[in-house]
Amino acid sequence: MRILVVASTLPAGHRLKVALGHEGLMVDTVALDDDPGAVAAQTGPYDAILIEAAGLSHAVIAGIRAVARQRLGVPVVVLVASATPESESEALDAGADDVLMAPMAITTLVVRLRALQRRMLGHLSAWITIGNTTLDQAKLALTVDGRDVRITRREFDVLEMLFLRRGSLVTKADFLQRLYGSDEGPDSRTLDVFICKVRRKLAAAGAAEFIRTAWGRGYMAEEPPLSAIAAARSRFADGHLRRPNRLTSPAKAWAEAA
Domain total of the chain:
2
C-alpha–C-alpha distance, residues 3 and 29, integer Å: 8
**pTM for the full predicted model:** 0.81
Residue 257 lies in a domain: no
Distance (Å) of CA 190 to CA 81, 225, 240: 43, 29, 29
C-alpha–C-alpha distance, residues 113 and 127, integer Å: 16
Give the residue numbers spanning the domain of 222: 127-252
Tell me the per-residue pLDDT of 168-220, one tens digit each, with 9 for 90 and over.
999 998 888 888 775 556 677 788 888 999 999 999 999 999 999 998 899 99
Q: Is the pLDDT of residue 248 over 80?
A: no
> Looking at residue 181, what is its pLDDT?
72
Element (H, E) at 230: helix 226-238
Q: Is the pLDDT of residue 246 over 80?
A: no
Tell me the per-residue pLDDT of 59-87, one tens digit each, with 9 for 90 and over.
999 999 999 888 888 999 999 999 999 99
What proportions of the chain, in percent to the nearest 5, are helix, strand and coil? 45, 20, 35
Q: Is the pLDDT of residue 253 over 50?
A: no
Kindly state whether residues 244 and 140 are assigned to the same domain.
yes
Kindly state whether residues 145 and 116 are assigned to the same domain.
no
Nearest to 129 by CA among 221, 67, 64: 221
Q: What is the DSSP letter of 244?
A: P
Instruction: Name the β-bridge partners of 219.
Output: 170, 213
Kindly state whether residues 12 and 116 are assigned to the same domain.
yes
> Looking at residue 249, what is its pLDDT?
46
C-alpha–C-alpha distance, residues 140 and 178, integer Å: 17
Residue 10 lies in a domain: yes
Kindly state whether residues 77 and 167 are assigned to the same domain.
no
Residue 258 lies in a domain: no
C-alpha–C-alpha distance, residues 220 and 250, integer Å: 11
Kindly state whether residues 170 and 241 are assigned to the same domain.
yes
**CB-based contact 207:257 (threshold 8 Å):** no
Domain boundary among 121, 151, 175: 121
> Looking at residue 183, what is its pLDDT?
58
List phi, psi (to 5°) of 60: -65, -45
Buried b (16+ CB within 10 A) or exposed e, 216-233: eebbbbbebbeebbebbb
C-alpha–C-alpha distance, residues 222 and 14, integer Å: 38
Region 125-136: mean pLDDT is 96
Q: Is the pLDDT of residue 252 over 50?
A: no
Kindly state whether residues 51 and 145 are assigned to the same domain.
no
Kindly state whether residues 211 and 162 are assigned to the same domain.
yes
Kindly state whether residues 131 and 60 are assigned to the same domain.
no
> Looking at residue 33, what is its pLDDT?
87
Q: List, edge to edge, every strand of the sheet that includes 211-214.
A: 170-171, 218-221, 211-214
Kindly state whether residues 9 and 104 are assigned to the same domain.
yes
C-alpha–C-alpha distance, residues 214 and 53, integer Å: 42
CATH number of the domain that residue 178 is part of = 1.10.10.10
Domain boundary among 121, 137, 165: 121
The mean predicted confidence, pLDDT, of the chain is 88
Kindly state whether residues 82 and 150 are assigned to the same domain.
no
Kindly state whether residues 191 and 149 are assigned to the same domain.
yes
Tell me the per-residue pLDDT of 218-234, one tens digit each, with 9 for 90 and over.
999 999 999 999 999 99
Domain boundary among 121, 145, 162: 121
